[in-house]
Structure 1
Amino acid sequence: MTRSWILPTLFMLCGSAVAAVPALSGSPGTAAVLLPMFVLLAGIHSPLVFPRPVSAREAQRRSAADSRPVVFWRPGCTYCLRLRLKLGRSARQLHWVNIWRDPAGAAAVRAATGGDETVPTIVVAGRPHINPDPAWVREQLTPSE
């Protein structure tokens, strides 16, 4: 199992355990409320919420061709999730690199942030921006799509 699925798996396991207690003690209504909450948390923190990631090399190649920003992110990052949700459908226009799956992406983030893996790090026109405002990121998108 990769690191990106550890947090969602923990949410599912903990949710099952937490929901089992009221279900076994005769309160299935409480269990029916708790379990979907944990499933939702697992889904939100899973890689499934984000567009399909590409490698850092591929993202840089695509960005050079279409001038779209590159987003370095990792699952479980609250700020990455905030950026993704605030961008809505516009998020598909960005090139997403999961730093937990791509060592070159993690190295690029460390180089941009002075040794830390602070995400989201957005690269626009070759210049890194650490945890920028989602409205600013939306402004950087080309109106071509």
Structure 2
Amino acid sequence: MVRAWILPLSLLALGSLVAALLAVQEAHVAAAALLSAFVLLAGLHSPLAFPRPVGAAEAERRSAVDGRPVVYWRAGCKYCLRLRFRLGRDARRVHWVDIWRDPAGAAVVRMANGGDETVPTVVVAGRAHVNPDPAWVRGQLGSSG
């Protein structure tokens, strides 16, 4: 779980350092703008940008009941972030599994990808799809009820 926060915290630290250097040089507006940009980037790359994850076993159980896709993801993955934001409000209807928090989820992803932890891996009806088009995933939500 700690490694999911390394990138966001690093972005905050770097942004704070550069903003402080700009503030010392009395470039207060630039410092505030830069710090705001780094805070935004840190938030986007944190686990907070995603709906609350569940474990792989629970996600598979829920998917078996409602037919909705299971998305295996990790914080800091730009493709996972792209999928999350392109799904918009529909993202809450998907079962999200953070592979950095759930070893069983990471094992599912490795098994589906020949040993690699390639995310996002979306499982629909027992079939894994690596980095699918967000429109396709949204279509799977429409057909699942």
TM-score, with structure 1 as normaliser: 0.97
**How far is the alpha carbon of 1:132 from its aligned partner?**
0.3
Q: Give 1:133's aligned residue.
A: 133
SS at match of 1:141: helix
The AA in structure 2 aligned to 1:11 is L
Please say if residues 68 and 144 of structure 2, whose CA atoms lie closer than 8 Å, have aligned partners that are also in contact.
no
User: Percent identity at matched positions?
Assistant: 68
In structure 1, what is the Cα distance between the partners aligned to 2:47 and 2:112? 23
Q: Within the alignment, does 1:65 sit opposite 2:26 as a pair? A: no
Q: Within the alignment, does 1:104 sit opposite 2:107 as a pair? A: no
Q: Give 1:93's aligned residue.
A: 93
- For residues 18-97 of structure 1, the aligned pairs below 5 Å read 18-97=18-97
Please say if residues 69 and 141 of structure 2, whose CA atoms lie closer than 8 Å, have aligned partners that are also in contact.
yes
SS at match of 1:142: helix
In structure 2, what is the Cα distance between the partners aligned to 1:44 and 1:15? 14
Partner deviation per Cα, 1:50-72 (whole Å, 9 max, x = no partner): 00000000000000011000000
Please say if residues 47 and 75 of structure 2, whose CA atoms lie closer than 8 Å, have aligned partners that are also in contact.
yes
SS at match of 2:129: strand
In structure 2, what is the Cα distance between the partners aligned to 1:140 and 1:103? 26
The AA in structure 1 aligned to 2:95 is H
Q: Give 1:7's aligned residue.
A: 7
TM-score, with structure 2 as normaliser: 0.97
**How far is the alpha carbon of 1:142 from its aligned partner?**
3.3
In structure 2, what is the Cα distance between the partners aligned to 1:61 and 1:98? 16
In structure 2, what is the Cα distance between the partners aligned to 1:70 and 1:29? 44
Runs in 1 of length 4+ with deviation above 6 angstroms?
none
**How far is the alpha carbon of 1:86 from its aligned partner?**
0.4
In structure 1, what is the Cα distance between the partners aligned to 2:23 and 2:96? 40
SS at match of 2:116: coil
RMSD of aligned Cα (Å): 1.2
In structure 2, what is the Cα distance between the partners aligned to 1:8 and 1:28? 23
Q: Which runs of 5+ in 1 are unaligned?
A: none
The AA in structure 1 aligned to 2:43 is G
